Amino acid sequence: MSSRIVVVGGGFAGFWAAVAARRVAPAEFDVVMASRQATQQMRPRLYEANPESLQIDLSPILQKIGIEFVPGEATALDHIARKLVLDHKKELEYGRVVVATGSALRRPLLPGADEAYSIDTVAEAISFDKRLAEITRNSGAPTLAVVGAGFTGVELTLELRDRIAHHGAPGAAEHARILPFDAADVVGRELGAGPRPVIEAALAEARVELRLAVSVTALARDSVLLSDGQTISADAVVLTTGMAAAEFARNIPGERDRLGRIVVDRSLRTPASAAIFVAGDAAAVDGGDGHLVLQSCQHALQLGRFAGENAARDLIGVPTIPYVQPPYVTRFDLGRSGAVFTRGWERTVELTGAEAKAVKRRINREIIYPPFDATREELLALSSVEPALQRRPTLKSQRSP
């Protein structure tokens, strides 16, 4: 049996899974990260200006810890032979594998949907930003259509005036028409009623033309067709229509949820194959509080730590640890209106305005980044799952057989 632990994916979950596996596994065991590039995209920030700056090179930190990086796109997985296939040809044998391949935008199945912009990846966000720069130069008062008024859609909507101003046209920014569309009858339905009044007030202050309970039937880069036959012309159309597990998850045997995520047990192992652990946006698991984890970085960071730790523990014959998610919070950017910070699944508002914005910025610009200045020992220690277990000591003894 191979003594190699392979982590597929280099996002938030993949990175911390590899670090945690390296901390637990004996020195003679190889820990490998396989991904297209050794870069991490700061996806929670892609609604902001300067998207080209929102990716970081992981190579120095991987080398410091002793994690091998293997470039390539994961295209198949043979769970019987325990082999990962990269680029349809390169094979990596594994003793345990952690699938942390993330999520991707759910483009609606509508005519022209592929022509619309998105901010799902750094490359797509750069393409949209170039379009913003172009229309800033050529349009006195641009019109921007945002399809989707959920978490990402609202954050992007409330940033757009400042992004237009960032490209050198403050006058155009103030006169721009910004039109978010959503089939739901309320804004940010998935966020619940708690923060909604604060979000609605921010949208009103930003003078956006919110269109709710409307169905989009066709899209293009410069127009939106509605079910009532109305066509809305725009200088750019951008999709923020939610996420689903990335396509690679289809290679993993077992049950899936409605988002295409692999349903795993509390150790983050897929019941259909003992050697496969799943983390991040590809995993569906109860966080220990009766709620399924979300496709968000705060869950991905923790899922990665547990998956990497448990994959290594299982490989060396040590009992695995049931997954525990730290208390759930939301940090929602409201552009010029600051932010809103909520706590718990009931999303009780605790902070708003500038105070919440400071918390949001510290998390997005500091806490979620890999600590490049840390020593090897500090990095390994930061991958520990113990802080989460200490919050719920009753779970410490609930070890998997």
* Assessment of whether the complete model's pTM goes beyond 0.75: yes
Does residue 293 lie in a domain region? Answer: yes
Give the structural domain span for 54: 5-104+243-327+373-395
Helix residue spans in 267-352 (DSSP H) = 297-316
Give the residue among 301, 260, 259, 311 at the shortest CA–CA distance from 280. Answer: 301
**Contact assessment for residue 32 and residue 68, using Cβ atoms and an 8 Å cutoff:** yes
Give the residue among 396, 280, 289 at the shortest CA–CA distance from 344. Answer: 289
Does residue 123 lie in a domain region? Answer: yes
Same domain assignment for residues 193 and 278:
no
Q: What is the reported pLDDT for 400?
A: 27
Contacts of 252 (CB under 8 A, 6+ apart): 77, 79, 99, 262, 270, 272, 273, 276, 278, 282
Last residue of a domain, which of 239, 269, 292? 239
Same domain assignment for residues 73 and 44:
yes
Domain count, the chain: 2
Same domain assignment for residues 118 and 232:
yes
Same domain assignment for residues 24 and 141:
no
- Tell me how many helices (H) and strands (E) the chain has: 11, 25
Same domain assignment for residues 268 and 319:
yes
Residue with tokens 């399924």: 292
Same domain assignment for residues 261 and 390:
yes
Same domain assignment for residues 93 and 121:
no
Does residue 351 lie in a domain region? Answer: no
Same domain assignment for residues 163 and 189:
yes
CATH of residue 168's domain is 3.50.50.60
Contacts of 297 (CB under 8 A, 6+ apart): 12, 43, 44, 368
Same domain assignment for residues 124 and 231:
yes
Q: What is the reported pLDDT for 388?
A: 56
Does residue 40 lie in a domain region? Answer: yes
Q: Tens-of-pLDDT digits for all 401 residues of the chain?
A: 789 999 999 999 999 999 999 999 999 999 999 999 999 999 999 999 999 999 999 999 999 999 999 999 999 999 999 999 999 999 999 999 999 999 999 999 999 999 999 999 999 999 999 999 999 887 678 999 999 999 999 999 999 999 999 998 888 899 999 999 999 999 999 889 999 999 999 999 999 999 999 999 999 889 999 988 999 999 999 999 999 999 999 999 999 999 999 999 999 999 999 999 999 999 999 998 899 999 999 999 999 999 999 999 999 999 999 999 888 999 999 999 999 999 999 999 999 999 999 999 999 999 999 999 999 999 999 999 986 555 433 322 222 22
Same domain assignment for residues 189 and 119:
yes
